[in-house]
Amino acid sequence: MTSDGLPTLLGTVVGGSLTDGVEVRLAEGASVEDIPVGSYVVIQGETRRFFGMVSEVRLAATDSRLRSAPAGFEDPFVSQALTGTAAYGSIVVRPRLVLPSVAGAEGDIAPARTVPGHFSRAARASEADVAQVFGAEGGDNFAVGTPLDMDAVVCLDLKTLLQRSNGVFGKSGTGKSFLTRLLLIGVLQSRLSALLIFDMHNEYGWEGGDVERGRRVKSLKQLFPSEVSVFALDEQRARGASVQPDFHVEIGYGEITPDDIMALRETLGISDAAAEAAFALGRRFGDGRWLREFLRLEGSDEIGELAARINVNGAALATLHRRLTNRVTRLPFVTDAPGADAVSAIMDHLDRGKHVVLEFGRYGDDVIAYMLVANLLTRRIHDRYRERQSADAGEGRSTTPLTIVIEEAHRFLSPAVASQSPFGIIAREMRKNNVTLLVVDQRPSAIDAEVLSQVGTKVCCLLDDERDVDAVMAGASGSRELRSVLAGLRSRQQALFFGEAVPIPVAVQVRDYGTDTSYDALMRRRPRREAAARGPAVARSNGAASEDEDDDPLFG
Partner 1 sequence: MTTAPQAEARIGEVVEAGSTEFAAECYTLYGAPPLGALVRVGDPAVYGVVYSVTTAALDPGRRVAARGAGEPDEASVYRNNPQIARLLATHLQALVVGHDRAGTLVQRLPAAPPRIHAFVYCCDDADVRAFSEQLDYLHLLATASVPAIDEVIAANVRLAAEARPDGDGFRASAARALAEELANDVTRLKAILRSIQ
Contacts to partner 1 by CB under 8 A? 28, 61-63, 65-66, 69, 72-73, 75, 77-78, 80-82, 84-86
Residue 453: CB minimum distance to partner 1, A:
47
DSSP assignment of 237-278 equals HHHHSSS--SEE--EEGGG--HHHHHHTHHHHT--HHHHHHH
Question: Residue 139, SS3?
Answer: coil
Residue 61: CB minimum distance to partner 1, A:
7
Question: Residue 55, SS3?
Answer: strand
The residue (of 58 and 283) whose beta carbon lies closer to partner 1 is: 58
Distance separating alpha carbons of residues 395 and 391, to the nearest angstrom: 6
The residue (of 69 and 532) whose beta carbon lies closer to partner 1 is: 69
The residue (of 65 and 296) whose beta carbon lies closer to partner 1 is: 65
Count the Cβ atoms, other than its own, within 10 Å of residue 519: 22
Residue 70: CB minimum distance to partner 1, A:
9
The residue (of 17 and 79) whose beta carbon lies closer to partner 1 is: 79
The residue (of 59 and 102) whose beta carbon lies closer to partner 1 is: 59
**Biggest distance spanned by C-alpha atoms of the chain:** 93
Angle between helices 466-473 and 479-487 (to 10 degrees): 140
Residue 131: CB minimum distance to partner 1, A:
36
The residue (of 67 and 432) whose beta carbon lies closer to partner 1 is: 67
Query: Where does 352-465 have alpha helices with state H?
Result: 367-395, 410-413, 422-428, 449-453
Distance separating alpha carbons of residues 284 and 305, to the nearest angstrom: 13
User: How far is Cα of residue 527 from the mean position of the Cα atoms in its chain?
Assistant: 25
Residue 73: CB minimum distance to partner 1, A:
7
DSSP letter, residue 327: I
Distance separating alpha carbons of residues 176 and 75, to the nearest angstrom: 48
The residue (of 61 and 521) whose beta carbon lies closer to partner 1 is: 61
Angle between helices 314-323 and 272-285 (to 10 degrees): 90
Residue 12: CB minimum distance to partner 1, A:
13
Distance separating alpha carbons of residues 424 and 426, to the nearest angstrom: 5
The residue (of 36 and 84) whose beta carbon lies closer to partner 1 is: 84
Structural contact between residues 206 and 199, judged by C-beta atoms closer than 8 angstroms: no
Residue 7: CB minimum distance to partner 1, A:
16
Distance separating alpha carbons of residues 503 and 96, to the nearest angstrom: 9
Residue 69: CB minimum distance to partner 1, A:
8
Render the burial of 139-168: b for 16+ CB within 10 Å, e for the rest. Answer: ebbbbbbbbbbbebbbbbbbebbbbbbbbb
Structural contact between residues 458 and 469, judged by C-beta atoms closer than 8 angstroms: no
Residue 63: CB minimum distance to partner 1, A:
4
DSSP letter, residue 400: P
Residue 475: CB minimum distance to partner 1, A:
41
The residue (of 28 and 336) whose beta carbon lies closer to partner 1 is: 28
Distance separating alpha carbons of residues 191 and 501, to the nearest angstrom: 17
The residue (of 5 and 72) whose beta carbon lies closer to partner 1 is: 72
Query: Where does 405-491 have alpha helices with state H?
Result: 410-413, 422-428, 449-453, 466-473, 479-487
DSSP assignment of 15-52 equals EEETTTEEEEEEPTT--GGG--TT-EEEEE-SS-EEEE
Residue 134: CB minimum distance to partner 1, A:
38
The residue (of 80 and 400) whose beta carbon lies closer to partner 1 is: 80
Can you count the helices (H) and strands (E) in the chain? 22, 23
Residue 58: CB minimum distance to partner 1, A:
16
The residue (of 121 and 284) whose beta carbon lies closer to partner 1 is: 121
